[in-house]
Structures are given as C-alpha cells and as structure tokens.
C-alpha cells in the first residue's frame, strides 16, 4: 500500500524487513535514462533504539563535528540506506541505489529526511554504544546497577550541566563503562551524554513523585537534581537526603542501601515521596 504525499514522495512499508520492526519510505524520483520516474524503496531506522553500534557511532560522530541537524540527517539517510551520490547533476545529484541510477533533487532529500526527525530528540529510552575499546557498558536502563553507581553518575552528569567541562563526561564514561582506563572520543562523549540524559528522562516518567519539580531557593521550576543555587551544595544535600530516607536514619544500613539495585532504590524513594505528598495534601501547612 502506497500513500502519495506529493508528486515525488511516496511512503511505503516493504513486506520484508531485514532488521527493523517497521520501515518508512520510498521515493518516486526522476530517472535519467529510459523511464521518467522509478520507485526506489529505502529502509531507514525508525528510532534510536533501532540503531546498531556502528550507526550510533556514525550519528554521534557527525554531531561531534558540529554539523547542523539537516546535514546530519542527510548524511545518515545516504549512509544507512546505501544510496550513493555519484556527482552533481544540474540542480540535483546523480545517485545510484542497487542497480538503478537517477537524479534526486534537494526538495526530495528535504522531504525524505523527515523520516529521521527523531534524531532531533533524546531517545525515549536509554541507548548506548555497547563498548568503548574493550570496556563493556553497564545495562543501558540501569537494571541491576548499584544505587551508589547511579548517585556517582548523576553527580557527574549534573556537574557537567553546570560546568560544561568535558573532563566530567570522561569521568562519567569511566563509571558507565566500569574502567578508569576509558578515554572517550568526542563522539563517545556525546553518546555518554545522550545515554544518561535519556536515562534521567525515563526515570522522571517512571518515578514521577520522586523526580517531581520542587521549589527551592526561589526557583519554582527546579528539580531535586537540577537546582541553580550552589549546584554542588544542592547535590550534596540531595544525596544525603536520599540515603537518609532509605536507611530511615540508621547509619549502619548505609552500605547495604548503596549496594541495592537502582530501580529498587528509586521505587522506594518514589513511594516515600508520594506518601509525603499525600500527607501534605491531607494536612496542609497553615
């Protein structure tokens, strides 16, 4: 079934899907030889979670070089579909795909890269490059990762948001890839940032009471982890508050608490935050 969008662009869903659950795309392009137009079916990934390691490295590498979004998506479109640009041809480009050669115009490319607009947003669930050098990553969603590791990573991530120092992303990478010997490239740094930023967004959706924005230091839009008042002081206080909440004030349990699974810790903290909200709602301060 084809859906005609305009004279040139058609979206279709091929029956055979080599590695994706769903696909987008196909073009009716001007052909230079015998026929005026041909159909070319191009399969592209439909989200961050469909990308393999080499594809993640490619898109993060383009971002690291500072290319604007439309250019990043254009390079990805050609790389991931296998469509080759042979040379410039009038107002378009002579391209080759499989056994076909044709001319594609700039407006057709602009229409096609809309299928990759998801590149402009953070992943809806965490994705990561599986290894840096020989060092393997933690589980992307932090399942079975100790709560202490999450606290350390979150402090480094928030520190980077505040100071914008690459050294903090490097330290974050060493935690996420479990080795002090990890020295990430610029592309891998971007990958680390996207990984942890998407993890935090997922946690904010999953544990909405604990990560609910709170008022602090006159900032009504602040978050427990994202205050502007003395950033490191806020982080220090937030970490201590979390640990105290989980240990119920029993310092002998601190080591045990830090070792529990991140999801288990956040589940408990979210429940405590909800209880606190319910109490304040039932007994509002006068």
* pLDDT value of residue 42: 86
More confident residue, 214 or 211: 211
In this predicted structure, the answer to whether residue 177 has a pLDDT above a threshold of 50 is yes
CB 244 within 8 A of CB 257: no
Question: What percent of the chain stands above pLDDT 70?
Answer: 72
Highest mean pLDDT among 14-23, 77-86, 213-222: 77-86
Q: Name which of 26-40, 68-82, 139-153, 162-176 the model is least confident about.
A: 26-40
Tell me the percentage of the chain whose pLDDT exceeds 90. 50
Predicted confidence (pLDDT) per residue in 199-209, tens digit: 999 999 999 88
pLDDT at 155 over 60: yes
The H or E element that residue 284 is part of is: none
Domain boundaries, the chain: 2-120, 131-282
Which pLDDT score is estimated for 134?
A: 96
Q: Is the pLDDT of residue 184 over 90?
A: yes
Mean pLDDT value across residues 94-123: 91
Lowest mean pLDDT among 62-76, 191-205, 212-226, 238-252: 212-226
Model pLDDT, residue 281:
76
Contact 73, 116 (CB under 8 A): yes
Give pLDDT tens digits for 45-88. Answer: 999 999 999 999 999 999 999 999 999 999 999 999 999 999 98
pLDDT at 5: 25
Is 222 or 67 the better-scoring residue by pLDDT?
67
Separation of first and last alpha carbons in the chain:
64
- How many Cβ atoms from other residues are within 10 Å of residue 163's Cβ? 12
Q: How many CB atoms lie within 10 A of CB 74?
A: 19
Give yes or no for a contact between 98 and 90, defined as CB atoms under 8 angstroms apart: no
Q: Is the pLDDT of residue 246 over 50?
A: yes
pLDDT band at residue 36 using 50, 70 and 90 as cut-offs: low
Q: How far apart are CA 168 and CA 52, in angstroms?
A: 26
Secondary structure (3-state) at 209: coil
pLDDT computed for residue 252 by the predictor: 59
Confidence of residue 22 (pLDDT cuts 50, 70, 90): very low
């Amino acid at each position: 079934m084809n859906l005609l969008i305009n004279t040139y662009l058609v979206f279709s869903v091929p029956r055979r899907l080599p590695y994706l659950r769903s696909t987008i795309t196909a073009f009716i392009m001007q052909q230079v030889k015998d026929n005026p137009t041909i159909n070319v079916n191009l399969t592209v990934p439909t989200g961050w979670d469909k990308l393999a390691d080499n594809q993640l490295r490619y898109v993060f590498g383009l971002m690291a070089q500072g290319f604007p979004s439309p250019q990043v998506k254009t390079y990805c479109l050609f790389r991931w579909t296998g469509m080759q640009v042979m040379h410039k041809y009038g107002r378009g480009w002579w391209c080759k795909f499989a056994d076909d050669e044709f001319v594609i115009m700039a407006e057709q490319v602009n229409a096609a890269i809309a299928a990759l607009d998801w590149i402009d947003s953070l992943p809806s669930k965490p994705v990561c490059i599986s290894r840096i050098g020989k060092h393997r990553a933690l589980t992307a969603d932090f399942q079975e990762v100790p709560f202490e590791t999450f606290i350390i990573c979150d402090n480094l991530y928030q520190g980077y948001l505040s100071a914008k120092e690459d050294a903090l992303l490097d330290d974050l990478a060493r935690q996420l890839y479990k080795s002090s010997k990890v020295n990430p490239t610029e592309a891998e740094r971007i990958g680390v940032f996207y990984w942890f930023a998407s993890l935090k967004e997922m946690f904010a959706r999953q544990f909405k009471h604990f990560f609910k924005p709170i008022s602090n230091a006159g900032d009504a839009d602040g978050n427990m982890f994202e205050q502007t008042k003395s950033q490191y002081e806020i982080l220090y206080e937030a970490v201590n508050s979390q640990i105290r909440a989980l240990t119920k004030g029993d310092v002998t349990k601190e080591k045990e608490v830090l070792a529990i699974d991140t999801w288990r810790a956040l589940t408990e903290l979210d429940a405590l935050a909800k209880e606190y909200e319910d109490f304040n709602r039932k007994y509002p301060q006068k």
